[in-house]
């Protein structure tokens, strides 16, 4: 059997060839991403992208496990990382371990990801010491949307940069094998990348990060309005709309199904 990419292998990619990461939430999408990416993230963005929630706050552990299982079935090479949803890990290291262990055991994924800087460092240490690789996530952390007052680019005031760098250092020192840096000023992202010994994975951050990640549906052009940092590498939404419109027209004018599409 093909061996999957491991957390230590990702950690070793600091300053090396950029790490290619994308989200996926379903088996067929995971199979497509698996052919090209090092890391597949089952992001809690699935709450908004797949389930139509207004934020990631309503995402449950059960949703993450169900989509994590689908992504594992659809892939066999990339490392699969599963987001810990809001409320499943913040209370205490023991709570985080209990829930992260469930995610690992029921999906077979290679790691979990959780949001937060220095305040989450003891939890990250607790998990890593007990066999659960952790990807950290600093900068714009969407689960904090209610305290941030929306999805806002972080570090616009350089006076705040030392605190963000300290957050990244704290999670790296606690044993995180990589750190997602989201929605920050480019120069701050560069400071963070230079400050820590494990890879940074940027999203709305900097081309100098050790890797990049995007939400798959966003980069494929399957979602509506997207942030400035998303490049649409495809326009699958437009293609899907045209295909669905063509189907509707063909049904209405009875040109579908045609003779070749019927059992005669
Ligand atoms: O939930 C998600 O998709 C994420 C990535 C955008 C980093 O956390
Ligand atoms: Na997330």
pLDDT in tens, the chain (264 residues): 679 999 999 999 998 999 999 999 999 999 999 999 999 999 999 999 999 999 999 999 999 999 999 999 999 999 999 999 999 999 999 999 999 999 999 999 999 999 999 999 999 999 999 999 999 999 999 999 999 998 999 999 999 999 999 999 999 999 999 999 999 999 999 999 999 999 999 999 999 999 999 999 999 999 988 999 999 999 999 999 999 999 999 999 999 999 999 999
- Give, for 23, the enclosing helix (H) or strand (E): strand 19-23
Q: What is the atom index within ligand 1 of the atom nearest the CA of 182? A: 7
Domain presence at residue 1: no
Answer whether residue 105 is part of any domain. Answer: yes
With respect to residue 14, please indicate whether it lies within any of the assigned structural domains.
yes
Which of 7, 211, 3 has its CA nearest to residue 104? Answer: 7
**Whether residue 153 is found in the same domain as residue 253:** no
Q: What is the DSSP letter of 116?
A: B
- Number of domain units in the chain: 2
Q: What is the pLDDT of residue 1?
A: 61
In a domain, 40, yes or no: yes
> Do 246 and 170 touch, CB atoms closer than 8 A?
no
Instruction: State whether 131 and 250 are in the same domain.
Output: no
Residue 76 contacts residue 85 (beta carbons within 8 Å):
no
Taking the centre of ligand 2 as the mean of its atom positions, its distance from the CA of residue 141, in whole angstroms, is: 8
* The pLDDT value given to residue 2: 73
- Whether residues 118 and 191 fall in one domain: yes
CB 149 within 8 A of CB 201: no
Q: Is the domain of 175 the same as that of 249?
A: no
Q: Annotated binding residue at 45?
A: yes
Question: What is the token pair recorded at 77?
Answer: 């090479």
245 inside domain: yes
Tell me, yes or no, whether 218 lies in a domain.
yes
- φ/ψ of 79, rounded to 5, equals -75, 130
C-beta of 114 in contact with ligand 1 (< 6 A): no
67 and 23 in one domain?
Answer: yes
Are 254 and 223 contained in the same domain?
Answer: no
Residues 88 and 177 in one domain: yes
Q: Are residues 108 and 209 in the same domain?
A: yes
| Token code pair at residue 260 | 């070749």
The Cα–Cα gap between 227 and 112 comes to 25
Cα–chain center distance at 80: 10
139, β-bridge pairs? 182
Do residues 80 and 43 touch, judged by C-beta distance below 8 A? no
Ligand 1, closest atom to CA 180? 7
Residue 2 lies in a domain: no
204 and 251 belong to one structural domain: no
**Ligand 1 in reach of 83 Cβ (< 6 A):** yes
Residue 189 is part of which domain span?
Answer: 7-233
Does 241 share its domain with 152? no
Distances (CA, A) of 12 to 19, 65, 130, 228, 237: 11, 28, 21, 30, 37
d(CA 142, CA 56): 7
Instruction: Please answer whether residues 25 and 68 qualify as being in contact, where contact means their C-beta atoms are separated by less than 8 angstroms.
Output: no
Residues 226 and 258 in one domain: no
Three-state DSSP state, 8:
helix
| Whole-number Å distance between alpha carbons of 5 and 19 | 11
Say yes or no: 146 and 256 in one domain. no
Q: Is 239 designated active site?
A: no
Run of H or E including 214? strand 211-214
Instruction: Report if residue 249 sits inside a domain.
Output: yes
Q: Is 217 annotated as a binding residue?
A: no
CATH classification at residue 187: 3.20.20.60
Burial of residue 8 (CB within 10 Å: 0-12, 13-18, 19+) is exposed
Ligand 1, atom 4: nearest CA belongs to which residue? 43
CA angle 193, 40, 119 (to 5 degrees): 50
């Amino acid at each position: 059997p093909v061996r999957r990419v491991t957390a230590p292998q990702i950690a070793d990619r600091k300053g090396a060839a950029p790490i290619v990461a994308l989200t996926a939430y379903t088996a067929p999408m995971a199979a497509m991403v698996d052919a090209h990416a090092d890391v597949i993230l089952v992001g809690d963005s699935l709450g908004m992208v797949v389930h139509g929630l207004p934020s990631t706050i309503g995402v449950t552990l059960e949703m993450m496990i169900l989509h994590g299982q689908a992504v594992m079935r659809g892939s066999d090479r990339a490392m699969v990382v599963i987001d810990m949803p809001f409320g499943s890990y913040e209370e205490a290291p023991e709570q985080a371990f209990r829930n992260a262990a469930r995610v690992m055991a029921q999906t077979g994924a290679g790691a979990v990801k959780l949001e937060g800087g220095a305040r989450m460092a003891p939890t990250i240490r607790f998990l890593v010491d007990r066999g659960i690789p952790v990807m950290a996530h600093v900068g714009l952390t969407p689960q904090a949307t209610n305290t941030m007052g929306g999805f806002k680019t972080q570090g616009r005031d350089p006076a705040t940069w030392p605190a963000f760098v300290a957050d990244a250092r704290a999670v790296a020192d606690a044993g995180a094998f990589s750190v997602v840096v989201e929605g920050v000023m480019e120069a701050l992202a560069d400071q963070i990348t230079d400050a820590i010994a494990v890879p940074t994975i940027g999203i709305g951050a900097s081309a100098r990060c050790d890797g990049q990640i995007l939400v798959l549906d966003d980069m494929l052009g399957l979602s509506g309005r997207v942030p400035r940092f998303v490049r649409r590498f495809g326009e699958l939404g437009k293609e899907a709309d045209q295909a669905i419109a063509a189907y509707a027209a063909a049904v209405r004018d009875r040109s579908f199904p045609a003779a070749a599409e019927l059992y005669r």
